[in-house]
Structure 1
Amino acid sequence: MAALPADASSRALIRRLLRDYLARHRRGILLAVLCTLALAGLTALYPIVIQQGFDRFSNADPDLIWLLPVVIILVTCAKALAQFGQAVAVQSVVLRVIEALQSDLFRALTRADLASVVRDAPARHATRFTVDAAAIREALTKSINGAADILTVVGLVGSMVWLDWQMSLIAAAMYPIAIVPILRLGKRIRRASGGMQERMGETAAQLTESFAAARVVRTYRLEAQEEARAGRAFARLRESLFAIARTRASLDPTLEALGGFAVAAVLGFVGWRVASGQGTIGEFTGFVAALLIAARPARALGSLNAALQEGLAGLSRVFAVIDVPRQVRDAPDAVPLPPGHGRVEFADVGFRYDGTPDAALEGLSFAAEPGQTVALVGPSGAGKSTALALVPRLYDATAGAVRIDGADVRTVTLASLRDAIAYVGQDAVMFDDTAFANIACGRPGATAAEVEAAARAAAAHDFIAALPEGYRTPLGTGGGRLSGGQKQRVALARALLRDPRVLLLDEATSALDAENEALVQAALARLRQGRTTLVIAHRLATVREADRIVVMQDGRAVEQGTHAALMAGDGLYARLVRTQAFGGEVAAAA
């Protein structure tokens, strides 16, 4: 779509919006159209009511003059009712369309490849749901209201022609002249809108980063540095917003000036005609009323293009995310993961992140048998976390194959593969929900007894039970009610509840104290029976218990074996142990 010319791209965006979103709300649109027709017709009736009032009632029985206020009140009330119905119907349709767009956008992001999601900061994604959605909502509202304005102007033009067709020609001559500045300013606003929304995303991302690093900022006295960074971001955002505001500000004065020329020309012509006895006061008053009433919808139509361009820019960004093709997806002939006990094999696996020249993994080969615990160790950047990410297909290997129970993970369905795996990372992820919900999401539909059993196995039951509402206590954003170690145990309970075939632990016990780590290790020992566990650990106690240790360096497995065998080999692993790379207890344990 980006390769299309601007007008072709706009038409494609509008067609897609009409086909995929607006077409679902035919009843709401029909109600809005009916109210719009009533509103336009009643507005166009005003000048005729005024003309008839002046010309008829002034020459009739004075007792009939009271009818004019009554007619005006009736027309006004009917117009107000139509205006209310139109506004409610339009907003009902627009907000439902925005809700559907936001749902589709969120669905696209939650199901997108991990690589495409982590490419942008979370705050940048969030702006698409707020800033872009607001621009699209305004454009939709003004576009639908624009139909009412068009009908209103058409009706008023009809009234003008009925009153005096010669004066109508003079007024109509000014409208084509206004098209040129409207189109030019609209293009400028669309270009400026792209820059503004980009600055919005940058600012939101920087603010999120600064607030997340609050402890580091205060500890290192970086307040002034962060304030300067934020100041620069705010300045760039202000410049982008001002560019749009300045362009918008020039639109209404332009239309106002053109409208003034039209009114002046009409008044001059009408004054000459009335003075020469060729028209009535009623025709003059009604025509001028129609011209002045038409000024508001005419200006609204002039600003419609600006709002439409901003909305199209936002719509383009939303659809660009929705349309990103997924690389990690089910193969056309994908089958469910075959039965088994979770044997994991890395066969000459290679992997390279997009945009990076060096391979993260290269020729990685090892096997983990059911019931075994295999520890991946090595210096930072060796590729341990990357290797773990290939098992549930968060990324796909670019060479070799990762197999579970003999099946290449790329040939089985993602649902069956991920249902067989549980993962606990370095940073325990907590949802803004109850303790029960945070554990139960490991296996939707689990009973309260099963959730409690998993919590007990992860040494989490006691502190959860001590919360104000026990398992029904909301944990807050990011699990704010819990300590780091408590969050890790809730995350581990979630994995235990899943009862997986393969368990992936990325330094999952790093935040536990010695007492709780011993309890969790005991629970993990029971869980590992008949299952495969791949663990990344920096604590020697965890590594020593592994059935096999795979020592990684530069994306390769340079050593494999038990703790005793690797110490006897006096290679990289032995050097890591001697340099206390596994924590403070290493020297004594070695």
Structure 2
Amino acid sequence: MAVLPADPSSRALIRRLLHGYLMQHRRGIALAVLCTLALAGLTALYPIVIQQGFDRFTANDPQLIWLLPLVIIVVTCAKALAQYGQAVAVQSVVLRVIEALQGDLFRALTRADLASVVREAPARHATKFTVDAAAIREALTKSINGGADVLTVVGLIASMVWLDWQMSLIAAALYPIAVVPILRLGKRIRRASGGMQERMGETAAQLTESFAAARVVRAYRLEAQEEARAAHAFARLRESLFGIARTRASLDPTLEALGGIAVAAVLGFVGWRVASGQGTVGEFTGFVAALLIASRPVRALGSLNAAMQEGLAGLSRVFAVVDTPRHILDAPDAVPLPAGRGRVEFDAVGFRYDGTPDAALTSLSFTAEPGQTVALVGPSGAGKSTALALVPRLYDATAGAVRLDGADVRAVTLASLRDAIAYVGQDAVMFDDTAFANIACGRPDATAAEVEAAARAAAAHDFIAALPEGYHTVLGPGGGRLSGGQRQRIALARALLRDPRVLLLDEATSALDAENEALVQAALARLRQGRTTLVIAHRLATVREADRIVVMQDGRAVEQGTHAALMAEDGLYARLVRTQAFDNTETVAA
């Protein structure tokens, strides 16, 4: 039978779900309750109708027995109507609650600190919207329907007591015995559900990784290796699912056996009473009908605890994400970013990623004056991308300060800071939306003319106009309908439309061929005009054009200056150039 979980954390989850989500839909709940009361009442009428039909009609006028089927048809139709209304009302409320939970979860993830999001593979996050949401939905549906089952059982018990209170005591004495195994099985299911969700997340993450690496898998003939990894993941998932299925499978047989014992005991007692003349055939038939009708809702209440435990496990995981504290927030006294032309200063900046012993940046200092292009170069792992991420506060410096136009970026509002910055990475991020929408997300209030002007400046207008529906062509997942160079120019158009003070370029041309690179470089030249640009580049041509080059090693700035000055110093930068660390055929000559 349905029992409120004794675990305080479970009660807290239920209260939060009730007050934070369910109570927002009082009208739907009221309609569900109304239909539930009608359904329970009409179900409880069945035994009374049968008893009255056999006893009253046959005793007074046997010819009236034909009214019994008519009454049953009326009651059945009314019950069916109430059942339909209850099912629709319940699903309306449940699905709206799930929608709200998914919205809160997505909002929490999109606004969470980048560090907390990247700890898990995207597929693991996705399972919370699907698998966990499905478990919560089932638990909610069964819990609300459990209210109908409770009322139905109460109504049937009232009918049985009205028919024969002595027989009712026999039936009632046996059902509570089922509570102990049901509660024990529920705890086992909740523990197993946590493991199952982990296996689901692992499997989804592995499949996503394998499909994303399809070219590498085929090029290196890794098919057998990936198949073995997938088979291992499927086996672990099967074991987890089978563990839950085996535990849940024991519930119905337990309830079935107890129900059978109750029915047998009642039938024996009722048969003896009728045979001894202490009861009527109508009472016997009505009581047995009530007992048999009650078996279905009683079994449903018995399995409710298992569904609740799975739902609570999913709800716990969802709320754990929603409640994860954010650290990248507006300071209590944060002010809008002051006016300026984009002067960026790193003042003895230090940074360490959570859980790593070594610092990613140590006393990094340099200045990018308004309108300058500053190139960050150095060997892999020197901290270049980390430094770039500190400017828009994707992470916060753990020592020193990053300043934009004289203001510490931690002292200004996030909205004003990020509105002043545009970012273009090596892999141009495209959304599964139209070309227009992909550019306009740089500035959502931009007009069509402004979007087209940005596309022209980024050398993207011609190929966009040639698409089947022009700017209204959906680009597909990841911009799959475009080449790498075209995606990059869309990303540059997005940045141009934003009209930022500061432009962050993270190897924006390293993955392009010569023809596309020339087009993108021309667009970049227009984009950099009048803006402060911090660029991570592996192309010597890009580095040589910079006003200042900051050479990084082990999170520090070991050299700074122009290309000519650094070559004259014959330090790390000169060695990088001579060893062709930059992708350029003229490297050695330089």
d(CA) in 1 for partners of 2:443, 2:587: 41
d(CA) in 2 for partners of 1:18, 1:545: 61
Mapped contact 1:50–1:286 kept (Cα < 8 A): yes
Q: After superposition, where does 1:385-404 map in structure 2 within 5 Å?
A: 385-404=385-404
SS at structure 2 position matched to 1:423: strand
d(CA) in 2 for partners of 1:319, 1:504: 35
The superposition leaves residues 549-582 of structure 1 with CA deviations (integer Å, 9 ceiling, x where unpaired) of 0000000000000000000100010011111111
- In structure 2, do the counterparts of structure 1 residues 579 and 402 end up closer, same or farther at CA, with 3 Å as the change threshold? same
Mapped contact 1:44–1:152 kept (Cα < 8 A): yes
Mapped contact 1:457–1:520 kept (Cα < 8 A): no
The superposition leaves residues 393-419 of structure 1 with CA deviations (integer Å, 9 ceiling, x where unpaired) of 000000000000000000000000000
Q: CA deviation at 1:543?
A: 0.3
Asked if 1:361 corresponds to 2:361, the answer is yes
Mapped contact 1:360–1:386 kept (Cα < 8 A): yes
SS at structure 2 position matched to 1:348: strand
d(CA) in 2 for partners of 1:274, 1:168: 16
Q: CA deviation at 1:189?
A: 0.4
Structural RMSD (CA)? 2.1
The superposition leaves residues 116-169 of structure 1 with CA deviations (integer Å, 9 ceiling, x where unpaired) of 000000000000000000000000000000000000000000000000000000
The superposition leaves residues 205-262 of structure 1 with CA deviations (integer Å, 9 ceiling, x where unpaired) of 0000000000000000000000000000000000000000000000000000000110
Mapped contact 2:186–2:306 kept (Cα < 8 A): yes
Mapped contact 2:174–2:258 kept (Cα < 8 A): yes
d(CA) in 2 for partners of 1:587, 1:194: 55
The superposition leaves residues 21-47 of structure 1 with CA deviations (integer Å, 9 ceiling, x where unpaired) of 001000000000000000000000000
Q: CA deviation at 1:4?
A: 16
d(CA) in 1 for partners of 2:516, 2:215: 26
Q: CA deviation at 1:512?
A: 3.4
Q: CA deviation at 1:586?
A: 3.4
Structure 2 portions without partners, runs of 5+: none
The superposition leaves residues 40-59 of structure 1 with CA deviations (integer Å, 9 ceiling, x where unpaired) of 00000000000001101112
d(CA) in 2 for partners of 1:336, 1:204: 42
Q: CA deviation at 1:445?
A: 1.5
Mapped contact 1:540–1:585 kept (Cα < 8 A): no
- In structure 2, do the counterparts of structure 1 residues 5 and 320 end up closer, same or farther at CA, with 3 Å as the change threshold? farther
The alignment of Structure 1 onto Structure 2 pairs a total of residues equal to 590
d(CA) in 2 for partners of 1:83, 1:420: 57
d(CA) in 1 for partners of 2:513, 2:266: 87
SS at structure 1 position matched to 2:402: strand
The superposition leaves residues 415-461 of structure 1 with CA deviations (integer Å, 9 ceiling, x where unpaired) of 00000000001111000001111011001121112111111111111
Mapped contact 2:346–2:401 kept (Cα < 8 A): yes
Mapped contact 2:457–2:526 kept (Cα < 8 A): no
Q: CA deviation at 1:463?
A: 1.3
Mapped contact 1:203–1:237 kept (Cα < 8 A): yes
- In structure 2, do the counterparts of structure 1 residues 3 and 353 end up closer, same or farther at CA, with 3 Å as the change threshold? farther
- In structure 2, do the counterparts of structure 1 residues 543 and 200 end up closer, same or farther at CA, with 3 Å as the change threshold? same
- In structure 2, do the counterparts of structure 1 residues 434 and 24 end up closer, same or farther at CA, with 3 Å as the change threshold? same
Mapped contact 1:152–1:297 kept (Cα < 8 A): yes
Mapped contact 2:368–2:374 kept (Cα < 8 A): yes
Mapped contact 2:431–2:478 kept (Cα < 8 A): yes
d(CA) in 1 for partners of 2:462, 2:582: 30
d(CA) in 1 for partners of 2:302, 2:349: 60
d(CA) in 1 for partners of 2:309, 2:426: 45
The superposition leaves residues 67-120 of structure 1 with CA deviations (integer Å, 9 ceiling, x where unpaired) of 111100100000000000000000000000000000000000000000000000
SS at structure 2 position matched to 1:359: coil
d(CA) in 2 for partners of 1:307, 1:589: 71
Mapped contact 2:422–2:500 kept (Cα < 8 A): yes
Mapped contact 1:349–1:398 kept (Cα < 8 A): yes
SS at structure 2 position matched to 1:587: coil
Q: CA deviation at 1:521?
A: 2.9
- In structure 2, do the counterparts of structure 1 residues 560 and 471 end up closer, same or farther at CA, with 3 Å as the change threshold? same
Mapped contact 1:2–1:9 kept (Cα < 8 A): no
d(CA) in 1 for partners of 2:570, 2:107: 51
Mapped contact 2:46–2:290 kept (Cα < 8 A): yes
- In structure 2, do the counterparts of structure 1 residues 304 and 203 end up closer, same or farther at CA, with 3 Å as the change threshold? same
1:232 corresponding residue in structure 2: 232
SS at structure 1 position matched to 2:7: helix
Mapped contact 1:376–1:384 kept (Cα < 8 A): yes
Mapped contact 2:577–2:588 kept (Cα < 8 A): no
Q: CA deviation at 1:528?
A: 2.6
The superposition leaves residues 285-306 of structure 1 with CA deviations (integer Å, 9 ceiling, x where unpaired) of 0000000000000000000000
- In structure 2, do the counterparts of structure 1 residues 355 and 5 end up closer, same or farther at CA, with 3 Å as the change threshold? farther
Mapped contact 2:370–2:532 kept (Cα < 8 A): yes
TM-score (norm 1): 0.98
Mapped contact 1:488–1:511 kept (Cα < 8 A): no
- In structure 2, do the counterparts of structure 1 residues 113 and 144 end up closer, same or farther at CA, with 3 Å as the change threshold? same
Mapped contact 1:21–1:97 kept (Cα < 8 A): yes
Structure 1 portions without partners, runs of 5+: none
Q: CA deviation at 1:589?
A: 4.8
Q: CA deviation at 1:3?
A: 22
Q: CA deviation at 1:5?
A: 11
Mapped contact 1:425–1:506 kept (Cα < 8 A): yes
Mapped contact 1:352–1:360 kept (Cα < 8 A): yes
d(CA) in 1 for partners of 2:336, 2:496: 22
1:153 corresponding residue in structure 2: 153
Mapped contact 1:193–1:310 kept (Cα < 8 A): yes
**More off after superposition, 573-582 vs 162-171:** 573-582
1:370 corresponding residue in structure 2: 370
Mapped contact 2:458–2:489 kept (Cα < 8 A): yes
d(CA) in 2 for partners of 1:187, 1:2: 14
Q: CA deviation at 1:2?
A: 24
- In structure 2, do the counterparts of structure 1 residues 589 and 491 end up closer, same or farther at CA, with 3 Å as the change threshold? farther
SS at structure 2 position matched to 1:560: strand
Mapped contact 2:3–2:305 kept (Cα < 8 A): no
Mapped contact 1:351–1:360 kept (Cα < 8 A): yes
**More off after superposition, 60-69 vs 438-447:** 60-69
The superposition leaves residues 184-215 of structure 1 with CA deviations (integer Å, 9 ceiling, x where unpaired) of 00000000000001100000000000000000
Q: CA deviation at 1:466?
A: 1.3
2:589 corresponding residue in structure 1: 589
d(CA) in 2 for partners of 1:173, 1:539: 83
- In structure 2, do the counterparts of structure 1 residues 6 and 68 end up closer, same or farther at CA, with 3 Å as the change threshold? closer
d(CA) in 2 for partners of 1:543, 1:454: 25
d(CA) in 2 for partners of 1:152, 1:59: 30
**More off after superposition, 51-60 vs 536-545:** 51-60
- In structure 2, do the counterparts of structure 1 residues 106 and 179 end up closer, same or farther at CA, with 3 Å as the change threshold? same
SS at structure 2 position matched to 1:347: strand
d(CA) in 2 for partners of 1:450, 1:132: 43
d(CA) in 2 for partners of 1:397, 1:49: 77
Q: CA deviation at 1:522?
A: 3.4
1:30 corresponding residue in structure 2: 30
d(CA) in 1 for partners of 2:209, 2:529: 42
SS at structure 2 position matched to 1:491: helix
Mapped contact 2:2–2:301 kept (Cα < 8 A): no
SS at structure 2 position matched to 1:66: helix
Q: CA deviation at 1:514?
A: 3.2
d(CA) in 2 for partners of 1:473, 1:526: 26
Between the two proteins, what is the percent identity of the paired residues? 90
**More off after superposition, 518-527 vs 369-378:** 518-527
Q: CA deviation at 1:486?
A: 1.1
The superposition leaves residues 470-490 of structure 1 with CA deviations (integer Å, 9 ceiling, x where unpaired) of 111110001000111111111
